[in-house]
Structures are given as C-alpha cells and as structure tokens.
Amino acid sequence: MKLKAIYSIAMASAVALSVLVFPSLSNAQSSSKWKGIITREGEVTVVHNPKVPMYKDEILRLNEQLAIGGSKASEPYSLAAVKSLAVDDTGTIFVLDEKDIVIKMFDKSGKFIKSFGQKGQGPGDLNSPSRITFDRTKRILVVRNGPLGLSLFERDGAFLKTIVTEDIKASHNAVFDTQGRLCINRIRVQDMEHRWDVLKKYDSEITTAVEMKSIPIGSPYNVVAPMVAWTIDRKDNIVFGYPQKYEIEIIDSQGKTIKKIRRDYDPIEVGPEMKERNEKALKESRLPAEIASKIFLSKYHSAYANFLVDEANRLFVANWKQKERDYFYDVFDENGRYLAEVLLPHRSILFEGGKLYTCETDQEDYPVIKRYDVTWNLK
C-alpha cells in the first residue's frame, strides 16, 4: 500500500505526457548531413547521435481534422475523464472514460456508434480499467482491466474472453505483437530499496513467458526517478529504455538486442511548477510522516519519458521540454538517426492511418479527442 501511495504522488506530480492545440508546425526546413557515428558492440549496432538533429527547422505539419467532446458537447459526445483511446484500421475511435466506466465508439467522421462495458466483476465488465489498445491485427480490442487482468473484445464491442495471470494483473503495460505474443512489464519488489522492472513475453497461447529484461530501478521516494519506457514497433521489435542515460535498445522478436540508439543531451532541470504540484500532492496524500519525509525530487528529469512509433517506424521520444502545455519529442528514423525535435500536442496517444490522435483539454478543462492529418517535409 505504501508503494501504491508513493506511486500516486509521482503520477499526480508529474506532468501528464501521454495525454495534447496546437500551432501548426512546418514551413521550409533546412537539412544537413547526419553527423553521428555507427559502431559495433559485439553483434549489436550502436548509433551515436549528436545533440543537434539533422533538420533544424520544423519538418512536421499537423492539420486538425476532427474534435470530439469539450465543454459544449452533450451526451453521448460528452467525455468525463478520458483514460485511454484506441483506433482500428477503419478509423473507428474507441475512448475509455474512466469516470463513467465505459468505452465509447465513434466512427471516422466523429459520429457516435455505441457504448459498451460497465462497472462490475463479471465477464465483459470493467474494473479499474487503465488502458485500451488493439492487437496488431486491429480486430481485437485489449483492455487492461485491473484485477480482472486483460479483457478482450471484438471491435463491435462483443466480449471475447479474459486473460488472467498474476503477472498480467500486476502489469503496467501490455501489448500484443503481430504473432499474438503478449509483452508485459511489471515491478518486482523485494523491499522498498530493491525493485526491478521486469519485461516478459508470452507465447501466442499465453501459457509460457520468457523474461526479456530485468532492470534495477531507482528509489521509490524520488518522484522524478527514471521509469522504464517501452513499446513494440511496426516490425515486432521491442523498443526499450531505462532513461538513467539517453540510450534505447531495439530488441528483435527472438529477444536479441540488435541495436542501441544513443544521443548526447543536456538534462532538463525540474521546474518550480512540478515542485509545487509535489508539495500539494504530499499534503493531500495523508501519508505517515516517516514516509512523507523521505519523498523528494531529484534536480534533473530522466533522459526521456515515453515513446511513440509512427507507421514509417519513426521513433518519437518525449524529452521533457515544453511549450505551454505541449511537449517536444526527439524523432529518430528507422536506422536510429536523430532527425529533428518536434512539438506535439499535449497527450499525443498514437499514430494510425497517417493521422495523429490526441486527448487534449479545452479552455474549461473538459476532455477533447482530436485527430490531426500528418504531413512530413523531409526534403
């Protein structure tokens, strides 16, 4: 329970990265040759990137196409507390509303289709749902469903089955690859000072799991301690990093590290706003004094925060820099070269069908789901 309380403070204090209006990015851009170097460490290719990207000007244009929700929306278009969203290959949008405990479906034009799921403990019910994603076939909606494990639904909302193991129930993230193999990560705890973030991969029958990575992680009392980031790219590689330093591993489907991406960088100092949020969260937490006294913020953020991957297998790495509420991402091409730093809307969730989907808030702080058309200028 103490770990959960501390984790809650960390989440309340940290700026939500995964949740983003937006000045359009682009115009003409100037390019230069890549100035990094490539070396080998045994059988692993290591791509060393400098601080400065290949493209100094904006290379990405976002044009808003669709908005759902906001303060003026009425049922069924109003959204209470958007926890997560997913998009299938037809452009249908699935929104997990944490407050209403329901999943809403909207077609690609933004028209409401239906809602499904309800709070409960039975088959097809939702119990502390935290994330929705599609498997790589785009046919099965996967709900990370708290103590119920993973709940699987057809994309018409029909319930299929539940997958439950102790690892899955305790997982922080769960993603299927194109072969139906499930990757999860969870925290393994010996005591408050000895913890590991463990990444496992199950076979397609979800019967046998192989441990892919096990990383000792920092103090649970440090609100801005590095946290493992990972995802699966469009080729079933695992993109994995523990941002004590700016290094990202690319692990193939057999569990072999095939590439490391490194970048020179200047660490970002923790700002006064986050310190104020931390103090407020501590006061509201009612933690015992002996625990509260141990909680602190280190001087600097970790090297990066989280990952997004687009359909060209470009890797977007959130780097903690902000412009108002929006966040900057370092963009790397499929070969690991540092292309550019781009600004994305607050809570950019995923790329699908040449679009970027986000969860933002309007001026009155009501949730708004937005879709942007994405245009690249990489000449």
The answer to whether the beta carbons of residues 358 and 349 sit under 8 Å apart is yes
Q: Which domains does the chain have, with CATH numbers?
A: 2-376 (2.120.10.30)
Kindly give the confidence (pLDDT) of every residue in the chain, 379 residues in length, as a single tens digit, with 9 standing for 90 and above. Answer: 444 444 443 433 433 333 333 333 334 345 568 999 999 999 999 999 999 999 988 899 999 999 999 999 999 999 999 999 999 999 999 999 988 899 999 999 999 999 999 999 999 999 989 999 998 888 899 999 988 999 999 999 999 999 999 999 999 999 999 999 999 999 999 888 899 999 999 999 999 999 999 999 988 999 999 999 999 999 999 999 999 999 999 999 999 999 999 999 999 999 999 999 999 988 888 889 899 999 999 999 999 999 999 999 999 999 999 999 899 999 999 999 999 999 999 899 999 999 999 999 999 999 999 999 999 998 7
For 104, phi then psi, to 5°, come to: -105, 140
For CA atoms 284, 288, 293, 295, the dihedral sign is negative
Contacts of 212 (CB under 8 A, 6+ apart): 183, 199, 200, 201, 238, 240, 251, 255
Instruction: Kindly report the pTM of this predicted structure.
Output: 0.89
**Amino acid at residue number 66:** L
